[in-house]
Structures are given as structure tokens and as C-alpha cells.
Structure 1
Amino acid sequence: MKLSTQEEYGLRCLIQIGRHQQVSGGSLSISEISQLEGLSIANAGKFVRTLRLGGFVDSERGHSGGYRLSRPAEEIVIGDVLEALGGRLFDDEFCGEHAGQAGSCTHTVDCSIRSLWFNVQKTVDHLLNRITLTDMLGEEPEVSAGIAEKSDKLLQVGSAL
């Protein structure tokens, strides 16, 4: 499975905005975001626009304007962010997109693969919906340990069923 460029960079831009706000309390301009992430101003603007339309950031005009979180970082769920940036790995349209040369999937009645992708998506959703932007704002070792803990708890619950 691969994340799209939009999902990867969009999330990275959101993390930069969250980190900056956490440290300084201020907003971050598109040019600052593009510099921090090594993106063109146009691409940074595209990713941040999607975040704004998704309700995760607000823009402020003026000399000290820029982008800031629209709500506290602990209220921004990473699953919601990734869905706004690119959607889901497996959704209702998945089978139609993989029909081959046929007009519709030849396995609409008896498909063993569909249940695999459905359960992979369900597991990914459970984890991503437990991670907030706050969990992502630290240094990598701290973030990694926190996500691993949430993932391990999820796997323990799943294996108990």
C-alpha cells in the first residue's frame, strides 16, 4: 500500500503548522511551509488549501498572516485528515475501479479478495482514528513510541476477539 503524494505532503504540512503553533502560538506562511518541507510554493499552497477546505486549518490575512490550526491539535484525528487529503484505500467504488476489461467486476458475488481489503481498511481506520495531531507533533522517537503503543493496544484487543 502506498500513500499518495497529497496524503504524505498534506500531513507533513499540517504537522509543520501544528509544531509552529505549539512553539510560537503564531501562524505559518505558505513560503515558510514550502521551505520547511522542500516544496514549491504552488504545491505547498495546494496541500494547505485542501487542509483548509477540510476544516483543519484557517488562514489569516495581513502582514503576520498565514495558516494556523482551526481547532486544538488533540481534536484533529489523523484518519479524518488522510480521508480529506485522499480518501480511503478500500471503499465502495474499489471493485468498479478494478473490473479489468469487463464493465463490472466478474467476482461481484464470490470475491475472496474484497473481504481482505475490507478488513485491512477496517484495521487501518481503527488505528488512524486513535491518533491525533498532538500524537504527531513530537520528535520521531517520541512519536514512534506513542503510535506503537496505540497499535499494540489495538492488536491486543483484536487478538482477544
Structure 2
Amino acid sequence: MRLTLHTDCALRTLIYLGTHTDRLVSIREVVETYDVSENHLVKIIHRLGIGGFIETLRGRNGGLRLARPASEIRIGDVVRFTEENMALVPCTQEARISDDGPVCILGRNCRLRGVLAEALSDFMSVLDRYSLQDLIK
């Protein structure tokens, strides 16, 4: 399993906000801290706002902050929300499902999909055990 740069940056942004709860944080500050593209970060901030992970305040005195306490933000939830496709192999992607079932080069008796689904479930189960607070202690 490999997380996208989008998810990695989202998690790091949340960690940064979680370590600066005493004030609003600017997008510029996060960009400079992690040396990421401002355009990319703006998209991530927008997405995190839609997901209810952060609040954005506009204007001269605006900035970013966590929308709820770090202890209430589960890492698994952030990963599920920011990853567009969690399929470990192409044959498990929704777009690859035909009227006859999943497209698989190994055929209908393939057991690999089940093993990979179990592995992904275990991976997410570990992430679900941790909150943002666990990462910023």
C-alpha cells in the first residue's frame, strides 16, 4: 500500500495544525514548513475543510485550524477521505467490474483478491487505532 502525496501532505498539515492550536496558521506557513506547492496545498486544505477536519477563516486575520480536537480525528478516517482509490490491484477497482463480475486475469477462482482485501482491512484497522493526538504528542 502506498499513500498518495495528497494524503501524506494532508496528514502533515493536520499534524502541523495540531501542534499550533494556540493560533491560526496561514497556508503560506505550511507551504514554507513542508516545501510543498501552494496550489497543491490549497486543494488539500479545501478537501480537508469539506471533510470537516479543518476550519478555514478568510480575511486579513484569517487562517487555518483544526475543526475538532486532535483526539477526535482518526488517522484512518483521514486516509479514507483523501485517498481516491484504495484498490491494491486493478481487478478490485469498481471501474473494473463488468456485468460478469470483476475482471481478473486469473479467472473466477482467484483468491488473491480476498487476501489483498484482508491485508487492506488490517492496514486500515491499525490506522483507525490512532488519532491525530497520538501523532503530535
TM over 0.5, yes or no? yes
Give the secondary-structure state (helix, strand or coil) at the position aligned to 1:116: helix
Aligned counterpart, 1:60: 57
After TM superposition, the structure 1 stretch with the greater mean CA deviation from structure 2, 105-114 or 33-42, is 105-114
Gaps (5+ residues) in structure 2? none
Aligned counterpart, 2:68: 71
Q: 1:96 Cα shift? A: 5.1
2:3 is matched by which residue type in structure 1?
A: L
Q: 1:14 Cα shift? A: 1.2
Aligned counterpart, 2:121: 122
Higher helix share: 1
Give the secondary-structure state (helix, strand or coil) at the position aligned to 1:68: strand
Q: 1:106 Cα shift? A: 4.5
Q: Supply the distance in 2 between the matched residues of 1:20 and 1:36 (Cα, whole angstroms).
A: 13
TM-score, normalised to structure 1, is 0.72
Aligned counterpart, 1:3: 3
CA contact (8 A) 2:92 2:113 kept: no
Cα RMSD (Å): 2.5
Fraction of identical pairs, as percent:
30
TM-score, normalised to structure 2, is 0.84
- Count of matched residue positions in the alignment of Structure 1 and Structure 2: 132
Structure 1 residues 111-130: Cα deviation after superposition (integer angstroms, max 9, x where no partner): 11111111111111111111
Are 1:51 and 2:33 an aligned pair? Answer: no
Q: Which has the higher contact order (CA 8 A, sep 6+)?
A: 2
Q: Supply the distance in 2 between the matched residues of 1:109 and 1:75 (Cα, whole angstroms).
A: 41
Q: Quick one: structure 1 residues 35 and 106, their matched pair in 2 at CA, closer, same or farther if it must change by over 3 Å?
A: same
